Amino acid sequence: MTEGKRAIRVLMVEDETFTRNIVGELLDASGIEVNTVKSVSEALSNLENFDPHVVLTDLDLGPGPDGADLLSHIAQERPWTGMVVMTAHASPHLAISDASRIPSGSVYVVKSNITSKENLIGAIEESIARNGFHDEFQVDTEDRIVITSNQAEILKMLSEGLSNAAIAEERDISLRAAEALIQRTFAALGVNNNPKINPRVAAVKLWHQGKVIVK
């Protein structure tokens, strides 16, 4: 793990003990902080405290809610969280009767390749890149702040004067999720810890001054 970077946190949801243990050990050996659970209810109860960067889930979790149900909740309430689907089939249409239930932005990894470190870690990293969650925010050589496309979309809506509720409506997410995304965007821009400034005004000012670039 690169010095100064925090370990990626992965919440893994798998009802099969063997797969759960094997993948959990592989992630742990790769320097990833992993929390393994076997059901949607356990996953939901761990979300807030564990605060994962990525949710890695099987689709078929036995009786009760399945992986698609969990990912729908993640997409609605925690849209900054990466989503990786473990499936026995290369196509999601073969793994679930209604593949449209799986949120867009999800990354798929075939179970037969799950013990390949490169495939598994690659899927996790891709999901983070797709969903724009990063612990560390970097500034380039010209002192411009680098943010994700997800954060840029939030910043653009702020610059247009949209309220938190309007942003939630535009992105079709809950108000709580929208507020969390806005706070993460403020954190990326470094305008969230100064009580003397209005973070909305400061964020929009940086945007209009061309001091923000999107990666």
Topology, domain 145-214: Arc Repressor Mutant, subunit A (1.10.10)
Spatial strand order of the sheet with 82-87 comes to 33-37, 9-13, 54-58, 82-87, 107-110
Place of tokens 């073969």: 94
Higher pLDDT, 143 or 14: 14
Given a cut of 50, whether residue 2 has pLDDT beyond it is no
Given a cut of 80, whether residue 198 has pLDDT beyond it is yes
pLDDT in tens, 173-189: 999 999 999 998 998 88
pLDDT in tens, 101-121: 888 888 888 877 776 777 888
Higher pLDDT, 39 or 90: 39
CA distance 148 to 208: 17
Token readout for 213 is 């670039």
Higher pLDDT, 53 or 134: 53
- CA 156 distance to own-chain centroid: 20
CA distance 187 to 135: 10
Token readout for 183 is 């706070």
Share of the chain above pLDDT 70, in %: 82
Q: What is the mean pLDDT of residues 189-207?
A: 85
CA distance 168 to 61: 30
Given a cut of 70, whether residue 130 has pLDDT beyond it is yes
CA distance 80 to 148: 11
pLDDT in tens, 44-98: 999 888 989 999 999 888 888 989 999 999 988 888 889 999 877 655 655 566 6
- Alpha carbon distances (Å) from 61 to 56, 85, 179, 204: 12, 12, 31, 44
The pLDDT, as a whole number, for residue 131 is 61
- Alpha carbon distances (Å) from 58 to 53, 72, 154: 17, 14, 30
Topology, domain 9-131: Rossmann fold (3.40.50)
- Alpha carbon distances (Å) from 11 to 5, 25, 143: 19, 13, 35
Domains of the chain: which residue ranges?
Answer: 9-131, 145-214
Q: What is the mean pLDDT of residues 24-48?
A: 92
Q: What is the DSSP track for 50-75?
A: H--SEEEEES--SSSS-HHHHHHHHH
* N residues, the chain: 215
Half-sphere exposure in the Cβ direction for 73 (13 Å, CA): 15
**Sorting pLDDT into bands at 50, 70 and 90, what band is 11?**
very high
Please give the mean pLDDT across all residues of the chain. Answer: 81
**Sorting pLDDT into bands at 50, 70 and 90, what band is 210?**
low
The pLDDT, as a whole number, for residue 165 is 94
Q: Which amino acid is at 192?
A: N
The pLDDT, as a whole number, for residue 135 is 42
Longest dimension (CA), the chain: 55
The pLDDT, as a whole number, for residue 204 is 85
Higher pLDDT, 1 or 191: 191
